[in-house]
Structure 1
Amino acid sequence: MKKKFLFISFIALFMLILAACGEKKAVEEEYSTDTPKEEEVTQTKEESTNENGTRTIEYLGESYEVPEKVERIVVTGAMEAMEDMVVLDVHPVGAIAIGGKFPELYASVTDKAESIGEKIKPNFEKILELNPDVILGSTKFPEEVQSKLEKIAPTILVSHISTNWESNLNLLAELTGKQADAEKILSTYKADIEAAKSTLTEKLQDQKVAAIRIRGGQAYVYPKEVFLNAVLYGELGLAVPNEVAKAKSQEAISVEQLADMNPDYLFVQFSTDENADAPNALEDFKKNPIIQNITAFKNDRVFVNVLDPLMEGGPAYSRIKFLEAIQQNLVK
């Protein structure tokens, strides 16, 4: 009887071990089912290091060891990095797909790239297959995603905070040896900002300029240093509306609140991808009688999608294109 009890206990323990292993595997695969094997990752990293040697670069107070010569870059999650690649003409070997394809916005640099999954779900097996020298991820990534990427190649999480836009551009420039290009881009942009500021200061005195984004059928405003606001208020020095000054993050604004703000110029960003459940939100917004009484609407000073809706607003490419739109529409 005792032997039978021991045998049953052994079987039960064995089943518990199997169940625990299965649960662990399920957790590991929750984010992706294509995590590469440890030995494959180790071999790939060793081969890359042996061929190139390494160097250390600094980015936002952190040190990163990367190959001496970086030629194969994979971008996953970091839309900011994709915009920087456009202005620096850097062509990644792997890039973010949206809806299964590369956006036209990045067409100039994705000619040699392969898809490594969607923005929020990297395909780790595909990234490993591409044998990158460096992976550019996003600071929005959870720790477990970062850990998996670091096992494949040196990984740098690119900041999604708009105030770090110059550091982001200089990071990509240092990785690819395009420091002179980045310096020229930054100096030209800053000169253009000063030129626009001198023109706009007098023209827009006592005028309200605002930018909103429609998501999920709802209009939102952002803090004064976020999204397009960083250019309007931070760099051009335009007056900050109270509703923007009070915003702590992305905050919903009702049509009544927007009417109280009563901007003289209004920039509206709308993407169908962000309004899948409210495809007519933009038209409904423009037809609203309260909205039609706003000064910007009365004077035909509402500008919709002056930037591609996929643009982040903070990176160099967004700023350059937004400044062009400001000069075309406000400096008249």
Structure 2
Amino acid sequence: MLKVITRKSTALLLGVSVLALSLAACGNGEAKSEQTPETDTEQTPTEEVQEEASTRVLTDAMGHEVVVPANPERVIASYLEDHLVALGIKPAAQWSISDGQGVQDYLQYELKDVPTIPYDLPFEAVMEMNPDLIIVDSASMVEDGKYEQYNKIAPTYVIGLEVNNDWRDELVRVGQVFGKEDLANEVLAEYDTKAAEAKASIESEVGTPSVAAVWLVGGKFFMVAETVSSGAVLYGDLGLEIPSVVKEVSENATGNWNEISLEKLAELDADHLFLINSDTGVETTPLSESLWEANPAVKAGNVHEFSPSESWLYTGPIANSQIIDHVVESLVK
């Protein structure tokens, strides 16, 4: 749970090249009986090229030179599944919490048959998955000798140095690992176009209202920080107004989602609230208290509720694209 609160064409050419080389080798083998012995020596360079083409050496964010398979088939990239799916890659295991009970629900159409692995990647669980490549999204995940342990299991590539790396940079680096830089840039371009169109649509219909995203879980409220997760979508990509309370919380933020008191929430000067409600079905919640009812957006009936199974708690091209859809549907009538 910590990760959620604190806070994703060259390969094809290589595959075609290897296939072509394989066919060439087969052709040479069929003609071998009719050739002189010297012909055998001519096959050695081809075999060497095949061997070289089966891997690439890439430097990760921590400076490790990582020998990456040209076409990895069993990849573990915990909490980067959004990026993998966007690039057409199916991982060998997917991020989960609570013994596999909690997954990234919004990705389950693509990942429904993919086994789960604990979010903190225990060594034994990683070994059981028999990966041929491990990708981790931050240096903090491989501290205290963990990198060396993972690297003994499979080549391990670190995407970024920060706990919260920019998702765009992460996507590009994941694309580089798989030789899909062009596709990653296409995904980014499509997202930016969608965000720009949504921003223009919102502005033409309702201007630039002030908004905030809050998460109710376990009877407590958490507010998204200004520049990360769905905050980056609301204020950065869509250009919506940042309430003063959000700015205040963001200045002291220690993670993606930061606890906010009900008293402070009553002061939140937002025209619209996006509420991610993890306490649906709970008999008693703060939503029935007078302080919640005192919030201006609540009074105005401008609360837009979503379940935690949707993408608001995550980040990446797919998650953020879905958030844009939710915002447009909520604000543009």
TM-score (norm 2): 0.70
Residues 256-314 of structure 1, C-alpha deviations (whole Å, 9 max, x = no match): 22221232110112336xx9xxx738x62221222223232233321222663576433
Structure 1 unaligned residues grouped into runs of 5+: 1-48
Distance (whole Å) between structure 2 residues aligned to residue 90 and residue 303 of structure 1: 33
Distance (whole Å) between structure 1 residues aligned to residue 220 and residue 145 of structure 2: 32
Q: Quote the residue 1:87 is aligned against.
A: 86
Query: Contact 1:58–1:64 (CA<8 Å) still a contact in 2?
Result: yes
Distance change in 2, residues 1:210/1:102 (3 Å):
closer
Distance (whole Å) between structure 1 residues aligned to residue 208 and residue 326 of structure 2: 21
Q: Quote the residue 2:176 is aligned against.
A: 174
Q: Quote the residue 1:96 is aligned against.
A: 95
Distance (whole Å) between structure 2 residues aligned to residue 322 and residue 188 of structure 1: 15
Q: Quote the residue 1:285 is aligned against.
A: 286
Aligned residue identity for 1:128: M
Query: What's the offset of the Cα at 1:135?
Result: 0.2
Residues 118-144 of structure 1, C-alpha deviations (whole Å, 9 max, x = no match): 11242x245335442310224242433
Q: Quote the residue 1:271 is aligned against.
A: 278
Query: Contact 1:307–1:321 (CA<8 Å) still a contact in 2?
Result: no
**Structure 1 residue 254 and structure 2 residue 261: aligned?**
yes
**Structure 1 residue 143 and structure 2 residue 150: aligned?**
no
**Structure 1 residue 152 and structure 2 residue 127: aligned?**
no
Q: Quote the residue 1:20 is aligned against.
A: none
Query: Contact 1:162–1:227 (CA<8 Å) still a contact in 2?
Result: no
Query: What's the offset of the Cα at 1:163?
Result: 5.0
Query: What's the offset of the Cα at 1:322?
Result: 0.4
Distance (whole Å) between structure 2 residues aligned to residue 295 and residue 194 of structure 1: 28
Structure 2 counterpart of 1:232, from 219, 231, 234 = 234
Query: Contact 1:264–1:301 (CA<8 Å) still a contact in 2?
Result: yes
Distance (whole Å) between structure 1 residues aligned to residue 156 and residue 209 of structure 2: 45
Residues 20-55 of structure 1, C-alpha deviations (whole Å, 9 max, x = no match): xxxxxxxxxxxxxxxxxxxxxxxxxxxxx9786432
**Structure 1 residue 305 and structure 2 residue 306: aligned?**
yes
Aligned residue identity for 1:256: E
Structure 2 unaligned residues grouped into runs of 5+: 1-49
Residues 164-192 of structure 1, C-alpha deviations (whole Å, 9 max, x = no match): 21121122222333333322221111111
Query: What's the offset of the Cα at 1:106?
Result: 3.4
Q: Quote the residue 2:166 is aligned against.
A: 164
Distance (whole Å) between structure 2 residues aligned to residue 202 and residue 51 of structure 1: 55
TM-score (norm 1): 0.71
Distance (whole Å) between structure 1 residues aligned to residue 83 and residue 196 of structure 2: 22
Distance change in 2, residues 1:161/1:240 (3 Å):
farther
Q: Quote the residue 1:222 is aligned against.
A: 224
Shifted more, 239-248 versus 59-68: the winner is 59-68
| 3-state secondary structure, aligned to 1:228 | helix
Distance change in 2, residues 1:323/1:261 (3 Å):
same
Distance (whole Å) between structure 2 residues aligned to residue 186 and residue 121 of structure 1: 28
Aligned residue identity for 2:243: P
Distance change in 2, residues 1:331/1:176 (3 Å):
same
Distance (whole Å) between structure 1 residues aligned to residue 62 and residue 126 of structure 2: 27
| 3-state secondary structure, aligned to 1:151 | helix
Distance (whole Å) between structure 1 residues aligned to residue 65 and residue 317 of structure 2: 23
Query: Does 1 or 2 have the higher relative contact order (CA < 8 Å, sep 6+)?
Result: 2
Distance (whole Å) between structure 2 residues aligned to residue 206 and residue 91 of structure 1: 38
Query: What's the offset of the Cα at 1:205?
Result: 4.3
Aligned residue identity for 1:156: Y
| 3-state secondary structure, aligned to 2:131 | coil
